[in-house]
Structure 1
Amino acid sequence: MARARCWCRAGTAMTDFVRALRRALAVLVMLALPALSVRAAGDGTLLDTYLKDLSTWSADFTQVTEDERGARVGTGAGRLVIVRPGRFRWESSVRRGEPPVQLMVADGKNLWSLDYDLEQATVKPQEEVLPQSPAMLLAGGSDLRSGFTVEAGGRRDGHDWVVVRPKQAESDFREARFGFRSGVLALLVVVDKLGQRSTLTFSNVRRNPAVDPALVSFTLPQGVDLIGTPVPP
C-alpha cells in the first residue's frame, strides 16, 4: 500500500520540480559521455577542460525553478552521481534533509524512475527519454559541438560561465549555462523553450571519486509496482 502523505500546495511544485529535473538531466547527461573531442589549444572552454579525463563525478545539489516572469514555482535538493559512460543516479527531495521522494537511475540501457510515496517505478529505454538527441549525447566519442554550440560566457557573479545551446529546434531546453568557480562546476542554469529557469547549485563536488557500481544499477524494491519493460542487458 502506498504511504499516505498530503503534499497540498507542494504537489504542483513537486510536479514542476520533476519536469525541471528532467530538463536538467538532459543537460547533465553530457557529463556522462564516454568521451568528448576536446578542442585544439586556444579553442576550448572550461567545460571542455572539465570533461577531459572525467570518469566519475558526484555532488549534492539544491534546485530552484522559476517561471518566465521570475516567480519561484518549485524547489528541491538531492544528490547526483555520474559514472561514464552513460550512467548516473539522481535522488531528490523537496527540501534538504527530508526523505527522498524521487529516484532516477540510468544504468546504460534503461532509465528507472522510482516514486517513493506512490510505491511505483517506471522504466524506459534511455535513448527515448534523455536528451533531445540521445544517440549523439550518449554514443561514445561524439563531439559535443556536433549537436550544440558551446561558447565562453565570460565572468559574472564570481563564476566563469560556459553557454551551451542545442542546434535542434525540438530540444527540451533553450540554453544551459555552466558556472565554474576556481575550475570546479558550481552552478548549472537551464532555460527551457518557454523561459522557465532551473538553477542547480552544487556542493561537495568530487571529481573521479570511487563509486560503488550498485549506485548506478536498479533493483525493484519489494512491493513496488513496475510500469514498462526494461531493455535487456
Structure 2
Amino acid sequence: MKTMIKRTVILGIASICAFATLADERASQALQSKLAGMQQFSADFTQEVTDPQGEQIHQASGKLVMARPDKLRWETAQPDDTLLVADGHAVWNVDTFVEQVTIVDQADAINDNPIILLTTNNPRKWQQFSIAQPSADTFTITPVNGQGQIQQLELVFDNNVLSALSMQDAQEQTSALSFTNVKTDFTPALTLFEVTIGDHYTIDDQR
C-alpha cells in the first residue's frame, strides 16, 4: 500500500513538472512570436525605482533604442545625462557628469539578465530562463539558476507592441518603465550603437 502511494505521488509530481515545462515552452513561443515583430524598437521612457517597501527611491526619463541582434542604446535626460550603449561586443557606460567611460564585455554584463531576450534569437540564451504567461499580453521571465542581479523581468504588451516592463533585482528593488512614442518600423542608424568620446574623458576598460 505504501509503495503504491509513493508511486502515485511520484507520478503526480512528474505530471506537474511535465505540465509546467509545456506551459513554459508555450509561453516562450508566444513571447518569441511577439518579439519577432520588434526587430527594432524605439521609445521614450519614464522610470520609477522603488524599494522593497514600495517607497520611491529614484525617477528618470529618457530614450531607448534596441535592434536585433544584441544592440541597445539607453539615454537618460533626467535627472542626469547618461548614456549606455551595447554594440554587440561591449557595453559602454558614459557618465558625462564625471566625464568617465566604463567598458565591459557584453557577454559578462548580460549574463543571466533576462533583458537579453529582447535583443537575441540565440536558443541557448532562451534556455537560461523560465517564462510564464499569466495573461495574453503579460510575460514573466526568471533566470533558471537564479544567480543574476535581475531576479525577474515582467513584459507588458499592447497590440503586440511592448508598452511597459518591470525588473526586480537581488535587493528586491523594482524598476518599472513605461514607454511612449513607440516605433518598430524603421531602420536604426548604426551610429546609434557607437560611442564617440572626448580625449579628456577617463576610460575604465574592464574587458
TM-score using structure 1 length: 0.69
Q: For residues 118-140 of structure 1, give each alpha carbon's deviation from its aligned partner in whole angstroms, at most 9, with x where no partner exists.
A: 11111111112123269x96876
In the alignment, which of 54, 59, 67 is matched to residue 51 of structure 2? 67
In the alignment, which of 40, 44, 52 is matched to residue 29 of structure 2? 44
Displacement of 1:145 in angstroms is: 4.1
1:107 partnered with 2:107: no
SS in 1 for 2:108: helix
Mean alpha-carbon deviation: is it higher for 176-185 or for 49-58? 49-58
1:205 partnered with 2:186: no
| Aligned counterpart, 1:57 | 41
Quick check: 2:50–2:58 contact (8 Å CA) kept in 1?
yes
Displacement of 1:154 in angstroms is: 1.8
Paired amino acid for 1:64 = E
Distance 1:64 1:133 in 2: 19
Distance 2:205 2:39 in 1: 30
In the alignment, which of 148, 152, 164 is matched to residue 171 of structure 1? 148
TM-score using structure 2 length: 0.77
SS in 1 for 2:59: strand
Quick check: 2:68–2:120 contact (8 Å CA) kept in 1?
no
| Aligned counterpart, 1:88 | 72
Larger radius of gyration: 2
Q: Of Structure 1 and Structure 2, which has the larger fraction of its residues in helix?
A: 2
In the alignment, which of 105, 125, 131 is matched to residue 105 of structure 2? 125
Q: Which runs of 5+ in 1 are unaligned?
A: 1-38
Identity of aligned residues (%): 26
Distance 1:145 1:84 in 2: 14
Q: Which runs of 5+ in 2 are unaligned?
A: 1-24
In structure 2, relative to structure 1, the CA distance for the partners of 1:53 and 1:207 (3 Å cut) is same
| Aligned counterpart, 1:183 | 160
Distance 1:139 1:152 in 2: 19
Distance 2:206 2:149 in 1: 25
Paired amino acid for 2:29 = G
In structure 2, relative to structure 1, the CA distance for the partners of 1:86 and 1:171 (3 Å cut) is same
Quick check: 1:179–1:188 contact (8 Å CA) kept in 2?
yes
Quick check: 1:112–1:124 contact (8 Å CA) kept in 2?
yes
Displacement of 1:54 in angstroms is: 3.5
SS in 2 for 1:90: strand
| Aligned counterpart, 1:161 | 138
